[in-house]
Amino acid sequence: MLKLNVTRDDKLDDIIITEDTSIELNLVNCNKDINIDVMDNMCLEVFELDINTKNKINYNLRENSRVIVNKLARDNSDITTVKIDGENASLKYYSSIMNYKNNEYTFKTIQSKDNTESIVVNHCINFTNNTFKFLVDSKINKKMHNCYSMQDNKIIDLGNGHNYITPNLLVDSEDIEAEHSAYIGKFKKDVLFYLMSRGIKKEDAEMLLTKGFLLHNMILTGGEETDFNSFIDNNYNN
């Protein structure tokens, strides 16, 4: 597995994927341009653990390429743009953010070829009274056929934060399927009651729900699952 640990002063070249690849990204305190180009017929999976970043991340997906990103971050104001530029290309992007400061997370997909799909799941837990924004655009260009686009955005407020979601679907074609959803709220009261009714303290119940919420849907194997769980442990109310 290609493994990249990047901090503020590290230089990072463009990444061109010419064979099936897994990348582990650990980005800490940085503000960089990161370009990842996935060539025809290639599969890429990314496991990304970030702390305090404002990166501009650009993906370019070529024909028949497959990209799965599992991203867990603390305090993230990245701007991510995914251009799906090849027929039959597919994106599955799962971002989960633990928010403690004022942050604005921007995500854009642009589908410009037929038979493409983008599935984008953005989850955030805002632990404080600071502001968090999800700005999410899913664009499908004119005259596209048989495309699918889905974006699911949720923010759980554990402080008294100011939370915003802008879930845009920008679609100008009839032969596509597109859906979006947005939710801002607390953990459901009846769920907390259920867990606590089995003897679990409120703070432990919230921790269980936090992990479930942040890691739900991600596609993690044993090693990554341990790393992602540890990341939450290390950054939970800390």
Partner 1 sequence: MLKIDKLTAKIGDRKILDKFDLEIQDGEIHAIMGPNGTGKSTLSKIIMGSNDYDIKNGSIIFNGEDITNLEVDERSRKGIFLSMQSPISVEGVTNREFLRTALNARSNEPLGLFDFIKKTEQNIKDLDIKNDILTQNINDGSSGGERKKNEVLQIKVLEPSFIILDEIDSGLDVDSLKIVCDNLNKYKEEHPKTSILIITHYSRLLDYIKPDFVHKMMDGRIVETGDVSLAYEIDKSGYGEIDA
Choose between 168 and 183: whose C-beta lies nearer to partner 1: 183
How far, CA to CA in Å, does 233 sit from each of 2, 9, 23? 25, 27, 23
Number of residues that bind partner 1 (CB under 8 A): 22
List binders of partner 1 among 159-218 (CB under 8 A): 190-191, 193-202, 204-205, 208-209, 211-216
What is the C-alpha separation between 224 and 210, in angstroms, rounded?
Answer: 17
List binders of partner 1 among 45-74 (CB under 8 A): none
Choose between 142 and 198: whose C-beta lies nearer to partner 1: 198
Q: To the nearest whole angstrom, how small is the minimum distance from the Cβ of residue 165 to partner 1?
A: 18
Strands, sheet with 33-38, edge to edge from the N-terminal-most edge strand = 15-17, 33-38, 56-61, 79-84, 103-111, 131-140, 162-171
Choose between 39 and 200: whose C-beta lies nearer to partner 1: 200
Asked whether the beta carbons of 212 and 225 are under 8 A apart, the reply is no
Q: To the nearest whole angstrom, how small is the minimum distance from the Cβ of residue 218 to partner 1?
A: 10
Q: Hunting for tokens 């799909």 — which residue is that? A: 117
**Site map (CB under 8 A) of partner 1, residues 216-235, x = contact:** x-------------------
Choose between 178 and 182: whose C-beta lies nearer to partner 1: 182
Q: To the nearest whole angstrom, how small is the minimum distance from the Cβ of residue 202 to partner 1?
A: 7
3-state secondary structure of 125: strand
3-state secondary structure of 164: strand
Q: What DSSP state is assigned to residue 86? A: S
Return the amino acid letter for 21. Answer: T
Q: To the nearest whole angstrom, how small is the minimum distance from the Cβ of residue 99 to partner 1?
A: 18
> What spatial distance separates the first Cα and last Cα of the chain, rounded to whole Å?
30
Binding site for partner 1 (CB under 8 A): 190-191, 193-202, 204-205, 208-209, 211-216
